[in-house]
A and B are shown apart, each in its own frame.
Chain A
Amino acid sequence: MVSAALQICIVYYIVSLLDPYILSWQCINRPIVVAPLAGLVLGDFTTGVIMGAALESIFMGISAIGGSIPADATTASVIAVAYTILTGSDVEAGLAIALPIGTVMASLAGMLTPIWASLAAYWEKLAAKCNPKQFLLQTMLANLATPLVNTVILFFAVAYGVEGLNAFLASLPAWIMTGLSASSSMMIAVGFAILTSMIWNNEVGCFFFLGYVLVAYMNMSTLPIAIIGIVIAITMFFNEKRIIDLKNSLTNNAVAAADDEEEFF
């Protein structure tokens, strides 16, 4: 069991490092790719492929939208395949445990988000040092650490059973999980605050609230808001243009008038 767990962890680690961190496709880490690979390692390729199809249909609809990293379908697929092949149980039993595991793993990974977020300031300082090679090297090393946490959890789950994992999570006081998820939803505000303080302009700052209200009250998606924004921006652009033209023509006239006077005298 332990050596099988090790093998599967290596596959999982490579896959989750490759995608999204190196390829950014969010494709190699989908169940339809991961499950066959897990099957291959555990010696039952066909079961892996078939489970891949089933797992992909389960997880197809469950994913975050908007450029964020999707819920943990990868770990769930690996565990489901491992469970089925290693315990020799039928495919349905393996599939049945996939979804709860996906949720458990996502919440475990969620516990670490504040730590990665607190590194953001360090990255900014590093970026300011103007050493792109160093920046690339250090960020890539940090990427090596990120999937490692899930890999270790995965190892224990496969080697010693999923029940222990569930028991551990259940034994945690509830406020730890709520606190962590509450703080990570508030942490996005830090990024937005930095951005807002960079582009803030008192003259047009009120437009922030226009965008805000369109989402908060009208539930509009970003594309229609962008179109409204573009309409306003174009109107404003041509107004400014008219003012600039007017200013230029006034100064030109003044210069021309001054020339006339000089000629006159």
Chain B
Amino acid sequence: MEKRQINKEERKVLNSMFWRSHLVFNTFNMAKMQANGFTCTMAPAIETVYGDDMEGKREAYIRHNNFFNTHAVPFSFIAGLCYAMEREHKENGSIDGQTIESIKAALMGPTAGMFDSLFFNCLRIIAAGIGIGFCSEGNFIGTIIFILIYGATQSIAKYFLTYWGYEFGTAFIDRVFSSGLMEALSKAASVLGLMMVGAMTASMVSVPVTLTLNIGETSLVVNDVIQSIFPGLLGVLLLFLLVKLIKKGMRPTQLVLGILVFGMLGAFVGLF
């Protein structure tokens, strides 16, 4: 793949994205997790790419305010990649919004896993090990070493990953686009995206039913029965119920409040 030179304007956008990509946990919440951080990071890219195209801009902002969750470092890589994809979406229209969404969804799980092992489970332990050694003797240098090894490195990695994501995205798109295979790519991307969403649903969504039915002498733990039929059945049912409600035009606020009411009522009657 031929490496394309990044021009001055792109460099400006990427630098701004790098600084903004520190806002990963901006208004972090359980419904959409890092969505707002991602919107803030994408804002310079969206503004430059779409300019006066208000409709396209609006769609892009909504697209990048969707559920997002990964480790804070590859967050920058995915943002850079999305910049490349949004540019292609606007300039040539070869990538549709759904493909961008699928690629984002496909990337968040594995990158989170990879960088959790790299930073959280490896570098943090090393940094803490060295730091604790100094600090337990009352030497403050341990704290500084900890911040340098575990904190500052994240920013350095973020800087390079923002650029790398954009360069990689551009090169990849150029190659696929020049061969006229965007349609094939978007299908492959949605396979991968849906698979990863399925995997994340299984590991993150749960309906914690603790109800026990007492029938005469025997007691029946409802959750065990459901788990033995299909693990996490209730979670999948809840998800598809919500998908259906969204397609019917229900607003996320209504869904969140509905779940809250359901959870409290359920706990009150002993369902949870």
Contacts and interface: CB of A to CB of B under 8 A. Distances in A.
A218 B240 CA distance: 22
Contact of B109 (A23, A146, A191, A225): A225
Q: DSSP class of B's interface residues: helix, strand, loop or mixed?
A: helix
A188 B26 CA distance: 17
Contact of B205 (A27, A185, A203, A244): A185
A113 to B, nearest CB: 5
A252 to B, nearest CB: 13
B239 A189 contact: yes
Interface stretch (A53-61, A95-103, A257-265): A53-61
Contact of B243 (A27, A117, A181, A200): A200
Contacts of B36: 123, 127, 135, 139
Q: What are the nearest 3 A-B pairs in CB distance? A: A183-B263, A211-B198, A179-B267
Interface residues of B, number: 129
A63 B62 CA distance: 32
Interface of A: 20-28, 30, 32-33, 36, 45-46, 49-50, 52-54, 56-57, 60, 63, 65-69, 113-114, 116-124, 127-128, 130, 132, 135-136, 139-140, 142-143, 146, 175-176, 178-201, 203-205, 207-217, 220-223, 225-226, 228-230, 232-234, 236-238, 240-241, 244
B75 to A, nearest CB: 8
Interface stretch (B5-13, B162-170, B189-197): B189-197
Given A21-B26, A113-B29, A189-B238, A120 B205 contact: no
Q: DSSP class of A's interface residues: helix, strand, loop or mixed?
A: helix
Nearest to A174: B267
B205 A186 contact: yes
Contacts of B69: 66-68
Given A188-B31, A229-B106, A244-B183, A49 B195 contact: no
A176 B260 CA distance: 11
